[in-house]
A and B are shown apart, each in its own frame.
Chain A
Amino acid sequence: MSIVIADSSLAASPPPPEPEKGASNYLNVTSGFWSWALTVDHKRIGLLYLVSISLFFVAGGVAAGLVRINLLGNNPTEHILTEDQYNRAFTAHGVLMLFFFLIPAVPGVLGNFFIPMMVGAKDMAFPKLNLASWYVYMIGAMFAVWGVLAGGIDTGWTLYPPYSSRASHANVMPGVIGVFVTGFSSIMTGLNIMVTVHKMRCPGMTWGRLPLFVWSLYATSFIQLLGTPVLAVTMILLGVERSTGYGIFSPELGGDPLLFQHLFWFYSHPAVYIMILPGMGVVSEVLTCFSRKNVFGYKAVAWSSMGIAVVGFLIWAHHMFVAGISYYAALLFSMLSMLVAVPSAIKVFNWTATLYRGSITFQAPMLFALGFVVLFTVGGLTGLFLATLGTDIHLHDTYFVVAHFHFVMVGGMVLGYFSGLHFWWPKMTGRMYSDWWSRVAATIIFVGFFLTFVPQFVLGYHGMPRRYPNYPAEFQVLNVLSTAGASVLGVGYLIPAIYLTLSLYNGKKAPANPWSATGLEWQTPSPPSVHNFDSMPVVKCGPYEYAVGVDQMGRGLPEPPGEGGGPIHGYGKTGPAGPMNKETEVVG
């Protein structure tokens, strides 16, 4: 049986011609400061986010560098920072990276830019709200930067009272306000994406045909909408207690410190899914494209995102097994945490199965995506040790936790973000970056990451507590190794900054669809025109019909980039792949 992949019969239509590049695209249509400061174009807002989160990534990275350099020595005589400075450095690292880089990274940059294009819309549902979200983000960020510059915050990003509300002499309030304000930006982005996905899909773009990136961001926005208000409430309560002394969390004032932990983790645990789900979406796009395969189990991957988003709300107290919660609460939260691991496992297995019998090439987006799967697997599996009661008692608050969440957040999310950035960079900027250097960078980042964080698992297993500038001498060798790895990682991050910037000036002009991908976003010129599509796209089939060789509009795909030449080598010369009659094969 020949498979029917579209509602209407598909003639073996050739791939669309390279879209006419108009004189204007979204980048050059207008210019000047106000054209950017007051833009409501989702693509420009995406770039605004790109610039700002990159700055915070650098700032957070510098703080991480200080922490790692300081950890070369195990006692004050060998340190470059005093204890107070160290505490401020790791807090700055945590606050900046989590609230101002990881959470807005993919939704703010790639989501804003590509969700409308992927669903065939000309903009977000609420373009002005979208711009407002960036301003709110920047206002919140300025508060946090003020807090960091005016003496710093020394509470750790978790802000546990009564330390943060009563004991700390540092600049906690600006940080609290910053986190509070930025939360609204996250809510606005989430709302926008959710409404856009519901209301702005072009004809034929049914829920079952949404790219998995859209599904993952839809699940993310669900968490942002429901979780972030709780964080806002928590920050207000903390701010009230700190500024007025009205007892909410501090037991000496009649409050309950565990209440804060419950509220904080009610948001902050789902928040780790805000960070990782978009990365999973990127990886689903990239793995299918670079292995020229349909995703293995579209529904399983899409629904596992939703499953993670829902169950992710029910497991927060696994951060509190030794915090003094009741025995039965611990049992319940441990078991529910096991359930959330299942959809993550499904994703990993389905991604792996997607590679089966593919035709795989290893350009930078693919290398980052494969790195994501490898590192996320480690991060996910080690998470089980922390969700299991008997092992968490020992591993809690040690470097095992630090290594675990860096494997998820950096190994997973940052690699996913880099994968998406490299995948869509030609579309966003109209330029190709250096293929060779990008592969080198992906490899260096992967290796550097392993060197940095594997020693930390060993340290944690041996019991080294987190947030310790001074530590017993026997832990020093592994700490030095970790810092060495971090310097490799730092170099790995520098290289993309260089070649991506250079690509803007002397990169090859990118064709509309350099990776021969199926999504609607590739049906626009690179860089896209202001309204994305010249005419309303009509979707005829699901995403990822790489085997058949048609894009979502049912047209043929250009020749995919080969392994030999550059990514655009051979494009348009060897001819279109064109739709092929192909049976659906059944495995398993």
Chain B
Amino acid sequence: MNESLPWFPERASTAAVDFEWLFWYMMAVTGVAGLLVYAAMAVFCVQYRRGATSGSTPRILGSHRLELIWSIIPLFAFLSFFAWGAYVYNKAVNPPPDVATEIFVVGKQWMWKAQYPDGQRVIIGGNPANMTEAERASIGKLVLPVNRPVKITLTSEDVIHDFGIPAFRQKIDVLPMRYTTTWYEPTKTGEFHLFCDQYCGTWHSLMVGKVKVVTEEEYADWLEGVKPLQGSGNAVDGSPAREGEKLFLKLQCLSCHSANPQAKAPVLEGLYGTQVPLQGGQTVTADGAYIRESIRNPKAKVVQGWEAVMPHYDRKQVSEDDLSNLVAYIRSLKRGDTPKRTEQFPAPVGAPTTPSQSPPQPEGKK
């Protein structure tokens, strides 16, 4: 009970605002109607209780006029709910024509996989039977940019699920062998609940996660992989930085560029954007161009205090695509963000390995 419920739930999307107006309009109308009925009942029960009157009651059979009034007025009230509700529903289920971002979400017992247009992937949830609470807390957030409409297309691999985000007041069933769609335009940054709303079996209540709404800049950085926002510490799967990391390990860059004191090359964490002192007293800004050059031609600019032992990598070994991924990865490395040990990603047969001082510690990451 450490958290308290606010009086009003978060309104974090355009649909949420539409919902709230309609909801409170209906609350007002039904509230007034209900209270009028209760007031009449209470007054009658008190005023006409046995003993307060003579005990003789009038023979009243009804009134067509009154019945007509209290049929037609509610009917029009209800139809106004319908009409307004249809208007809100129309907006909620039909994405605007200019929606540029489409995210595919696959539900399965008991997790969600979100696939972004450029290949980034987030897994939200997982098999709760094999997860610790800490893992549950750190896994998977659907990252969305603020103030931009996003279309979500959903399908299920097994049973019916439902993808619901209360703060957006949106919800849609997720069916196997079929696509359903919904869309959001988040209006507020922050983290919001994501629930499976259609009963789907044992861990239905743990098929939950978070939606993280971020600014456009953060979103772009996150897609690039340089800013992990999806819940775990590493670059998001499928991002250039994530691809670069794999390459970084595959090329054995880590054997020299490690945080190990005996390393033969400078550690790269927090490097991007800093001023690097070079042999000869100059400095250079560690930007994409510098990093690219340092891979293609390491001897061009050698960092002060280090020997130029790095081999050069030509286009056959590292394509321009790979290079940009490596740049993105190096850009994503934060200070203290020790690159993963090679043991986690076994090196090709015959490749040199650095003996590890300690087992890999994911917790060591930021």
Contact (A345, B70) CB under 8 Å given A83-B203, A327-B93: yes
B67 touches A300 (CB 8 A): yes
Given contacts A358-B48, A388-B26, A388-B81, contact A396 B171 (CB under 8 A): yes
Q: Which of A28-36, A188-196, A228-236, A347-355 contacts B (4 or more CB under 8 A)?
A: A347-355
* Inter-chain contact A338/B171, CB cutoff 8 Å: no
Output the least CB separation between A292 and chain B (Å): 5
A323 within 8 A of B: yes
Known: A252-B177, A345-B74, A393-B92. A359 touches B2 (CB 8 A): no
CA–CA, A547 to B66, complex, Å?
21
User: B166 touches which one: A300, A385, A394, A548 (CB < 8 A)?
Assistant: A394
Instruction: Verify if B313 is at the interface (C-beta below 8 Å from A).
Output: no
Chain A positions within 8 Å of B139 at CB level: none
Q: Which residues of A contact B70 (CB under 8 A)?
A: 345-346, 349
> Does B18 interact with chain A (Cβ within 8 Å)?
yes
- Interchain CB contact under 8 A, A563 and B170: no
Residue of B60, B64, B193, B199 touching A584 (CB-CB under 8 A): B60
Chain B: CB-nearest residue to A253: B177
CA gap between A229 and B265 in the complex, in Å: 79
Question: What sequence of 0s and 1s flags, for each residue 268-308 of chain A, a beta carbon within 8 Å of any chain B beta carbon?
Answer: 00000000000000000000000111111111100000000
**Contact present for A465 and B197 (CB under 8 Å):** yes
User: In chain A between 362 and 393, which residues have their CB closer than 8 angstroms to a CB of chain B?
Assistant: 362, 370, 373-374, 377-378, 381-382, 384-385, 387-393
Judge whether A334 and B66 touch: CB under 8 Å.
no
A477-B5, A585-B59 known; A465 vs B196 contact (CB < 8 Å): yes
In the assembled complex, the Cα of A467 lies from the Cα of B49 at a distance in Å of 44
A390 touches B63 (CB 8 A): no
Do A360 and B44 have beta carbons less than 8 Å apart? yes
Contact of B82 among A154, A296, A323, A338 (CB under 8 A): A338
> Is B342 located at the chain interface by the 8 A CB criterion?
no
A246 contacts partner chain B, Cβ-Cβ < 8 Å = no
Smallest beta-carbon distance A18→chain B, Å? 22
Contacts of A243 in B (CB 8 A): none
CB of A472 within 8 A of chain B?
Answer: yes
What's the Cα separation between A518 and B2 when bound, in Å?
58
Known: A83-B202, A87-B202, A474-B3. A388 touches B22 (CB 8 A): yes
In the docked arrangement, what's the CA distance between A90 and B9, Å? 27
Quick one: closest B residue to A461, CB to CB? B9
> Which positions 297-321 of chain A face chain B at CB distance < 8 Å?
297-300, 321
Report the Cα distance A467→B63, complex, angstroms. 46
- Given known contacts A162-B158, A163-B199, A474-B3, is B48 in contact with A356 (CB within 8 Å)? yes
Within 8 A of A (CB), among B95-148: 109, 133
Distance (Å) between the CB of A66 and the closest chain B CB?
A: 16
CB–CB A334/B85 < 8 A: yes
Cβ–Cβ contact A391 & B22, under 8 A: yes
- Which of B15, B60, B64, B167 sits near A585, CB closer than 8 Å? B60
Asked if A582 and B59 make an inter-chain contact with CB atoms under 8 angstroms apart, the answer reads: yes
Residues of A within 8 A of B93 (CB): 327, 393
CB B56 to nearest CB in A, in angstroms, measures 7
- Residues from chain B with Cβ under 8 Å of A398 in the complex: 166, 197
Kindly state the interface size class of chain A when it binds its partner: 35 or more
- Give complex CA distance A359, B9 in Å: 46
Chain A residues closer than 8 Å to B310, beta-carbon distance: none
A251 within 8 A of B: yes
Of the candidate stretches B29-37, B286-294, B329-337, the one touching chain A is B29-37
Chain A residues with CB under 8 A of B81: 338, 384, 387-388
CB distance from B344 to the nearest CB of A (A): 30
B201 near A389: Cβ-Cβ < 8 Å:
no
Residues of B contacting A167 in the complex (Cβ-Cβ under 8 angstroms): 109, 158-159, 201
Q: Write the nearest CB–CB distance from A421 to chain B, whole angstroms.
A: 22
Contacts of B84 in A (CB 8 A): 388, 390
**Contacting B67 at CB < 8 Å: which of A346, A381, A387?**
A346
B residues 278-329 near A (Cβ < 8 Å) are none
Known contacts A297-B63, A465-B164; can you find 12 more A-B pairs with CB under 8 A? Answer: A257-B175, A322-B172, A327-B90, A327-B93, A338-B82, A339-B78, A359-B57, A377-B34, A382-B30, A391-B22, A471-B205, A548-B59
**13 CB-based A-B contacts, threshold 8 Å:** A83-B205, A250-B176, A294-B59, A298-B61, A321-B89, A323-B160, A357-B53, A357-B60, A461-B23, A463-B166, A463-B195, A466-B197, A477-B5
Binding site for A on B (CB under 8 A): 1-5, 9, 15, 18-19, 22-23, 26, 30, 33-34, 37-38, 40-41, 44-45, 48-51, 53-67, 69-71, 74-75, 78-79, 81-82, 84-90, 92-94, 109, 133, 158-160, 162, 164, 166-167, 169-173, 175-178, 180, 193, 195-206
